[in-house]
């Protein structure tokens, strides 16, 4: 489709998507509305070490390996695993744990005094299995000279009234884990949780002063395709105990699923901007039609642009907006595309954005003001965005795909973004990938190219109210797009050029003016839809230029 950007928007397609709705469960219930679990630093370190250590006779598979594992050794293990048929994990969860309802599962608490120290700046707490979190993961703690299997210990938990008096063997294992960090160098023992691995290949990370929001994943397999999505699992983790006052922690993970196995190395550095250096070796068991690299998963219920798409019902809610992310950004050389997220379609929608080459992409939460949300507990304004930066050799030829799934509840993650290679993945052909993840708060961010002004809001309303026609044309819509950031002229008389396009219908009568209250510029444009209106999304685009150069990212929205 022709447009003002090198990032090419392919025709989106609507089809039924078989997708697991992610109930945030333990993480959302325990942590929403706070910056994460605070570990006071007052726990007894000797007690914690005693409770956390286990002997080499732990009954979990693989516990006999005593030497520290390297990433390359783990990659070899993953390759051997992929050469064998996939074996579905056994359902060994005791019935009373599987039958726990939400409240009973939430009543299980890890004992703070049992928190496991990892060096002087980090600490770990595992998650109990039960309810939706039925699968077991192995956890190993390793230093340069040894590995300690971290076996389940019932004394680490208060199991709550529903399980009072119950005890389970070391083989029960854990559902996942969370890691805390001493952000304040003056109080290194005052730990705050900032990282969670829980469920399939999902993990969540936040920067200092942020709260959890969207999730990242190790990999996505056939998201949005008719045959249904596959969810590989991280089955084992090796957590390297940082030395001294190290600012980073390294986590190795083994991935397994019906279509592939893989090895991952995560080097995590928490801070105001928390970063993750990701290296992975993937070994496909079979051909994969759509492999989602560096996938991000988020929630968008409704936002400032109202229902967002034609036919969607407005939300009857006291809060002006409810979302963990409000848009997708895709960076290519000299251009950055911004797609505001929408909800309320009749069916799931897939959109693709090709970048030649891809410099980065992310799901971002650009609206950072409390009055935009008015939710004291959820703190949507403090939820991070995540920005993906491929290594210098990139991800190859492909496109960033955006999956928007209709949802009526904020407990469901209904947004997925990932890079999907153009050529399907072949069985037996390994892939090696490296990329970076960075949390994004208020922009502009050092993780993103700063030379283009960004879209900070998209508002839509009836064009009849400001520009009435006789007879009235209720389908006419007025789009109001605000840009802020570097490169915008201060002179309100500056000669601003507007580039507009629509895949169907027309955008007419554009007008740009400076907004003295913010120092930004506002673009008004009326959309006149075609008659008849074609099925699927109508894609609208706009950007501003001045003195012969592009000064804003490309606004890319759907009508």
Full 3-state SS string of 319-344: CCCEECCCEEEEEECCEEEEEECCCC
Residues 158, 204 share a domain: yes
Residue 475 is predicted with a pLDDT of 85
What is the number of domains present in the chain?
Answer: 2
Give SS3 for 10.
strand
**Residue 479's pLDDT band (boundaries 50, 70, 90)?**
very high
Is pLDDT at 18 greater than 60 in this prediction? no
The mean pLDDT value for 231-259 works out to: 95
Copy the structure tokens of residue 366.
């650009």
Percent of the chain predicted with pLDDT > 90: 74
Residues 399, 489 share a domain: no
Residues 116, 43 share a domain: yes
Residue 353 is predicted with a pLDDT of 96
Give SS3 for 281.
strand
Full 3-state SS string of 81-149: HHCCCCCCCCCCCCHHHHCCCHHHHHCCEECHHHCEEECCCEEEEEECCECCECCCEEEEEEECCEEEE
Is pLDDT at 52 greater than 90 in this prediction? no
Residues 156, 26 share a domain: yes
Domain-located, residue 184: yes
What is the 8-class DSSP label of residue 553?
P
Residues 25, 159 share a domain: yes
Domain-located, residue 259: yes
Is pLDDT at 449 greater than 80 in this prediction? no
Give the CA dihedral 357, 455, 371, 378, nearest 10 degrees.
-10
Q: Are 204 and 154 in contact (CB under 8 A)?
A: no
Residues 477, 357 share a domain: no
Residues 546, 504 share a domain: yes
Is pLDDT at 356 greater than 50 in this prediction? yes
Task: List the end-to-end C-alpha distance of the chain, in Å, as a whole number.
Answer: 16
Give the CA dihedral 73, 75, 81, 82, nearest 10 degrees.
-160
Residue 471 is predicted with a pLDDT of 83
Give SS3 for 291.
strand
Domain-located, residue 449: no
**Residue 450's pLDDT band (boundaries 50, 70, 90)?**
low
In whole angstroms, give the CA distance from residue 418 to residue 400. 6
Q: Spell out the residues 6+ positions from residue 367 whose beta carbon is closer than 8 angstroms to its own.
A: 303, 304, 321, 326, 373, 380, 381, 456, 457
The mean pLDDT value for 6-26 works out to: 36
Q: Are 195 and 204 in contact (CB under 8 A)?
A: yes
Which residues constitute the domain of residue 224? Answer: 13-440
Q: Are 155 and 93 in contact (CB under 8 A)?
A: no
Is pLDDT at 185 greater than 70 in this prediction? yes
Residue 39 is predicted with a pLDDT of 47
Domain-located, residue 393: yes
**Residue 184's pLDDT band (boundaries 50, 70, 90)?**
confident
Domain boundary among 388, 413, 440: 440
In whole angstroms, give the CA distance from residue 135 to residue 176. 9
Beta bridge pairs of residue 427: none
Residue 464 is predicted with a pLDDT of 87
Copy the structure tokens of residue 305.
């642009």
Residue 473 is predicted with a pLDDT of 83
How do residues 4-15 score in pLDDT, each as one tens digit? 333 334 333 333
DSSP string computed for 248-260: -EEEEEEEE-SSE
Residues 549, 408 share a domain: no
Domain-located, residue 7: no
Residue 309 is predicted with a pLDDT of 81
Q: Any idea what the Cα angle at residue 252 is, between residues 246 and 256, rounded to 5°?
A: 160
Give SS3 for 355.
coil
Domain boundary among 440, 463, 488: 440
Going through 341-485 in order, the beta strands assigned E by DSSP cover 349-354, 360-364, 385-390, 398-404, 415-421, 431-440, 454-462, 477-484
Strand duo 116-118 + 431-440: pairing: unpaired
Is pLDDT at 60 greater than 60 in this prediction? no
Give SS3 for 185.
coil
Copy the structure tokens of residue 398.
């492909």
Domain-located, residue 210: yes
Number of H helices, E strands in the chain: 5, 36
In whole angstroms, give the CA distance from residue 174 to residue 92. 12
Burial readout 198-214 (b: 16 or more C-beta within 10 A, e: otherwise): bbbbbbbbbbbebbbbb
Domain boundary among 418, 440, 462: 440
Strand duo 260-269 + 249-256: pairing: antiparallel
Other CB atoms within 10 Å distance of the CB of residue 23:
16
Residue 26 is predicted with a pLDDT of 38
Is pLDDT at 46 greater than 80 in this prediction? no
Q: What is the CATH number of the domain that holds 466?
A: 2.60.40.10
Percent of the chain predicted with pLDDT > 70: 88
Residues 384, 300 share a domain: yes
Q: Are 297 and 404 in contact (CB under 8 A)?
A: no
Q: Any idea what the Cα angle at residue 474 is, between residues 468 and 476, rounded to 5°?
A: 75
**Residue 65's pLDDT band (boundaries 50, 70, 90)?**
low
Domain-located, residue 1: no
Q: What is the CATH number of the domain that holds 32?
A: 2.70.98.10
How do residues 142-171 score in pLDDT, each as one tens digit? 999 899 999 999 999 999 999 999 999 999
Is pLDDT at 43 greater than 60 in this prediction? no
Is pLDDT at 416 greater than 50 in this prediction? yes
Residues 147, 113 share a domain: yes
Q: Spell out the residues 6+ positions from residue 424 whose beta carbon is closer than 8 angstroms to its own.
A: 287, 288, 289, 290, 291
Residues 458, 349 share a domain: no
Phi first, then psi, for residue 230 (nearest 5°) are -110, 140
Beta bridge pairs of residue 216: 203, 296
Residue 310 is predicted with a pLDDT of 79
Residues 307, 334 share a domain: yes
Residue 189 is predicted with a pLDDT of 81
Phi first, then psi, for residue 47 (nearest 5°) are -60, -45
Full 3-state SS string of 495-550: CEEEEEEECCCEEEEEEEEEECCCCEEEEEEEEECCCCCCCCCCEEEEEEEECCEE
Q: Are 485 and 453 in contact (CB under 8 A)?
A: yes
Is pLDDT at 49 greater than 50 in this prediction? no
How do residues 206-218 score in pLDDT, each as one tens digit? 999 999 999 999 9
Domain-located, residue 2: no
Is pLDDT at 90 greater than 60 in this prediction? yes
The mean pLDDT value for 328-356 works out to: 93
Q: Which of 45-49, 130-134, 205-209, 500-504 has the lowest mean pLDDT?
A: 45-49
In whole angstroms, give the CA distance from residue 385 to residue 212. 10
**Sign of the CA dihedral 507, 511, 514, 518?**
negative
Residue with tokens 């036919």: 311
How do residues 264-293 score in pLDDT, each as one tens digit? 999 999 999 999 999 999 999 999 999 999
């Amino acid at each position: 489709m022709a447009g003002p950007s090198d990032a090419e928007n392919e025709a989106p397609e609507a089809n039924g998507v078989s997708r697991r709705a992610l109930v945030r469960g333990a993480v959302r219930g325990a942590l929403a509305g706070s910056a994460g679990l605070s570990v006071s630093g007052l726990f007894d370190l000797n007690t914690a070490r005693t409770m956390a250590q286990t002997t080499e006779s732990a009954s979990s598979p693989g516990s006999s390996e005593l030497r520290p594992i390297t990433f390359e050794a783990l990659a070899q293990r993953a390759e051997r695993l992929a050469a064998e048929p996939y074996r579905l994990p056994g359902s060994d969860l005791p019935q009373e744990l599987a039958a726990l309802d939400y409240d009973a599962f939430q009543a299980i608490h890890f004992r703070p005094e049992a928190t496991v120290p990892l060096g002087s700046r980090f600490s770990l707490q595992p998650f109990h299995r039960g309810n939706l979190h039925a699968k077991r993961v192995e956890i190993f703690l390793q230093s340069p000279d040894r590995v300690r299997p971290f076996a389940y210990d019932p004394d680490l938990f208060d199991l709550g009234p529903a399980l009072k008096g119950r005890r389970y063997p070391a083989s029960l294992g854990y559902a996942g884990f969370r890691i805390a960090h001493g952000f304040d160098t003056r109080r290194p023992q005052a730990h705050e949780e900032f990282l969670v691995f829980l469920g399939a290949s999902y993990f969540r990370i936040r920067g200092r002063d942020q709260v959890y929001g969207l999730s990242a994943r190790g990999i996505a397999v056939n998201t949005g395709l008719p045959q249904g999505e596959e969810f590989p699992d991280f089955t084992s983790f090796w957590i390297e105990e940082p030395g001294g006052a190290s600012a980073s922690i390294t986590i190795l993970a083994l991935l397994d699923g019906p279509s592939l196995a893989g090895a991952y190395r995560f080097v995590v550095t928490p801070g105001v901007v928390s970063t993750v250096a990701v290296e992975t070796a993937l070994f496909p068991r079979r051909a994969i039609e759509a492999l989602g690299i560096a996938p991000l998963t988020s929630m968008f219920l409704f936002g400032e642009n109202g229902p967002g798409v034609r036919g969607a019902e407005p939300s009857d809610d006291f809060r002006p907006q409810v979302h963990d992310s409000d848009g997708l950004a895709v960076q290519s050389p000299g251009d950055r595309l911004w797609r505001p997220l929408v909800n309320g379609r009749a069916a799931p929608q897939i959109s693709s954005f090709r970048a030649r080459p891809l410099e980065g992409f992310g799901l971002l939460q650009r609206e950072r003001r409390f009055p935009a949300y008015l939710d004291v507990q959820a703190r949507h304004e403090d939820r991070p965005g995540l920005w993906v930066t491929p290594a210098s050799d990139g991800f190859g030829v492909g496109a960033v795909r955006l999956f928007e799934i209709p949802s009526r509840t904020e407990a469901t993650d209904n947004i997925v973004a990932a890079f999907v290679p153009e050529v399907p993945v072949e069985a037996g052909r390994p892939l090696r990938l490296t990329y970076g993840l960075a949390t994004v708060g208020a922009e502009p961010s050092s993780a993103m190219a700063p030379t283009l002004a960004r879209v900070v809001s998209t508002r839509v309303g009836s064009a009849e109210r400001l520009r009435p026609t006789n007879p009235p044309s209720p389908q006419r819509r007025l789009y109001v797009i605000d840009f802020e950031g570097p490169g915008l002229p201060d002179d309100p008389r500056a000669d601003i050029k507007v580039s507009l396009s629509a895949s169907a219908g027309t955008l007419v009568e554009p007008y740009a003016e400076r907004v003295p209250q913010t120092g930004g510029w506002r673009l008004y444009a009326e959309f006149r839809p075609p008659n008849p209106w074609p099925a699927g999304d109508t894609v609208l685009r706009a950007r501003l230029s001045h003195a012969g150069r592009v000064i804003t990212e490309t606004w890319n929205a759907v009508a």
